[in-house]
Structure 1
Amino acid sequence: MIENGNGRATTIKLAEHRVFSDSFKPLYNQGMSLVEEAAEYLDGDGRAEAKHLTRAGAALYAAESMRLTTRLMQLASWLLLQRAANSGEMTREQVAAEKSKVRLDTHSPQEQAQGWSDLPEKFQSLVVRSMRLQDLVRRMDEEIYGGAPARAEEAELFGNNPVYEQITLLKTAFGHR
């Protein structure tokens, strides 16, 4: 807490300070670099490496690459909204309204998935790094805007249900909420 000009104590949220200051640039750059790196990999080396996977491995690769792409697009959307607020292009209220469309809960079974260890190492790294970034952004989002997103609450209700995850993934891919 710090004292404001009126002699009252004000709570400073570190995540809010980070997002709405120059210290946001490294996070923004990290996220956008990860999006670019994943796109390059999936269109290049990843496509070639996927051809050498077993049938089960190829199916897992396809599902995980869809999750990865969805997760990164949602993260990019969140980062772009925060950048717009940071630069004054949008008010925090506008960002809060728009960010309600952004989902920060795209899960990945990772090591628990049968055949995970057969996936290319670079691909595994991209998935793990995207999950870490999503966790960081979700925590910051909750601190800044309060509360967990509705979709995360739904996920908790349904637990680790692969059918629910696939339906949610399809809804995300086709823009339904």
Structure 2
Amino acid sequence: MDAATNLSRPIIEALYTEALVLADDVRAVFALGTKEPSLSDNTMVRLALSTEGLKTTTRMMHLLAWLLNQRAYFSGEMTENQVRNHGALPPDRPSDQAQIDLLEPETRALIAETEALHQRIARLDQAWRQQFDLGSPVRAFQDRIGREFAQIDRPAKIRQLGPRQI
């Protein structure tokens, strides 16, 4: 995949529509506040549903925020620099397989779908950001200085060489 050349407004709009539909499904499944848990509900299942629900809704909010930033960029409301500096997609928090196994198959499938969407969008974000990883001369010089200082034992060299020979 080429870096920024494959990221276009139609791709972002299609992903945004997909994410909105998925977010609505997530809300419907994990809206625990709308019903009282019954006494027959297994405590571990309720805990798994709550924990994985939080991870899943957070994942969806991160995806929607990233997509909204991209939409703002393509609409001219954000600059490329603003998106680059403030619009990175946060890394995903993987689901706990032991908790996933406690959930219903439909819920597991929904969680897997959100994880797959996050992986797709993370690849797009990474490809788009790679165009900025070319590095500046200043950054290269700073990295070189950092490597040099990391390789020497500074206190020993200072004592052995004296102040003017460093």
TM-score class, shorter-chain normalisation, is: 0.5 to 0.7
CA-CA distance at 1:40 after TM superposition: 2.4
Q: How many residues align?
A: 130
CA distance in 1, matches of 2:36, 2:15: 30
Residues 1:99 and 2:99 are matched in the alignment:
no
TM-score, normalisation: structure 2: 0.67
Q: Percent same amino acid among aligned pairs?
A: 26
Does the CA-based 8 Å contact 1:71-1:130 persist in structure 2? yes
SS in 2 for 1:103: coil
Partner of 1:172: none
Q: Quote the Cα distance in structure 2 between the aligned partners of 1:61 and 1:22.
A: 35
Q: Name the SS of the counterpart of 2:9 in structure 1.
A: coil
Pick one of 96, 109, 113 that aligns with 1:125: 109
The aligned residue for residue 83 of structure 1 is 71
User: Which amino acid is the alignment partner of residue 145 of structure 1?
Assistant: R
Amino acid at match of 1:107: P
- Check whether the contact 2:66–2:87 (CA below 8 A) recurs between aligned residues: yes
Amino acid at match of 2:51: A
Larger Rg, first or second structure (1 or 2): 2
Asked if 1:28 corresponds to 2:12, the answer is no
AA in 1 matched with 2:16: Y
Question: Displaced runs of 4+ in structure 1, greater than 3 A?
Answer: 46-53
Distance between the aligned counterparts of 1:69 and 1:87, measured in 2?
26
Local SS of the residue matching 1:104: coil
Q: Please, what is the CA RMSD of the aligned residues?
A: 2.6
Map 1:1-177 → 2, pairs under 5 A: 13=2, 16-43=4-31, 51=38, 53-100=41-88, 102-109=89-96, 112-113=97-98, 115-146=99-130
CA contact (8 A) 2:52 2:100 kept: no
SS at match of 2:10: coil
1:119 Cα deviation from its structure 2 partner: 0.9
State the TM-score, normalizing by the size of structure 1: 0.63
